[in-house]
Amino acid sequence: MNTEASIEIGGVSVSFPLYHGSARSLKKTVAMAATGRLGADTHRRTVVRALSDVGFTLSRGDRLGLVGSNGAGKTTLLRTLAGIYEPVVGHVRVQGSVTALLDTSLGMNVDMNGRENILLRGLFNGLPRSALPQLERDVAEFAELGDFLDLPVRMYSAGMVVRLGFALATALRPQILLMDEWFLAGDANFLEKAKFRLEEMVRGAEILVLSTHSMDIIRTWCTRVIWLDQGYIRADGPTEEVLAQYLAESGAD
């Protein structure tokens, strides 16, 4: 009984309370006041608003690209969709199994070897013990780590970590894949392979939400783009339409 994947969010705002560190440091206060994103919530705590009144609906087969400058709220939005940040304003409804590729380390422990990380990841996803050897075989084959599988992840090159992470994440075939841009930083040969594996996944009528600065990746993979600006949705529509607006404003490619 596999339900159809869908994402529906409306009026979502996410604010980070600043409890620790130098919340009241003069430098930070001035810097944030300058960008107009400093406010105070009902308890008069200092908060930084990362998302404001964000809403959209995604259904089976959608490939959404998120663009925007650094700090526009792309990663926060991905984390909200992944259920990591529970918003206190607005509503979120995500149906289907979700995998979020947000962090280079992916909860990987760099002191453990590749094999142990694979097993741990399997346990994190609640796989039964009987499925673990198969997971290990699949990941080892795809990531092409060879003998490195028995070395601590600490010894891996950045590319190897990405390959391992990608292989792990895609081995589990989520219905909804949330991906941050760092993830496509593998070498060219791997990118080709990754693309194939991911396209396979998206072709299986799942949902992809991708955040990136690379217009090429957006053009290749996404059918819809949302432009986030300081936590607000600035534009939402078909890829070329939104990219044209975005590029006209930011003047970058």
Q: Report how far apart, in Å, the C-alpha atoms of 111 and of each of 82, 83, 151 are.
A: 26, 28, 9
Total of chain residues touching other proteins, rule CB under 8 A: 59
Alpha helices in the chain (DSSP H): 26-35, 74-81, 114-124, 132-143, 158-171, 188-203, 215-221, 239-250
Residue numbers 100-159 binding other proteins by CB under 8 A: 100, 102-103, 105-107, 109, 111-112, 116, 119-120, 123-129, 131, 134-135, 138, 141-142
Q: Report how far apart, in Å, the C-alpha atoms of 83 and of each of 29, 57, 166, 211, 214 are.
A: 29, 16, 20, 17, 26
What is the smallest separation between the CB atom of 44 and other proteins, expressed in angstroms?
Answer: 17
Q: Which of 92, 140, 210, 218 touches other proteins (CB under 8 A)?
A: 92
Q: Does 60 engage in binding with other proteins (CB under 8 A)?
A: no
The pair phi, psi for residue 34, each rounded to 5°, is -65, -35
If you search the block for the tokens 């600490």, which residue do you land on?
154
Q: Does 37 engage in binding with other proteins (CB under 8 A)?
A: no
**Which range touches other proteins (CB under 8 A), out of 17-25, 153-161, 216-224, 236-244?**
17-25
Residue numbers at the binding site for other proteins (CB under 8 A): 3, 16-17, 19-20, 79, 82-98, 100, 102-103, 105-107, 109, 111-112, 116, 119-120, 123-129, 131, 134-135, 138, 141-142, 170-175, 193, 196-197, 200-201
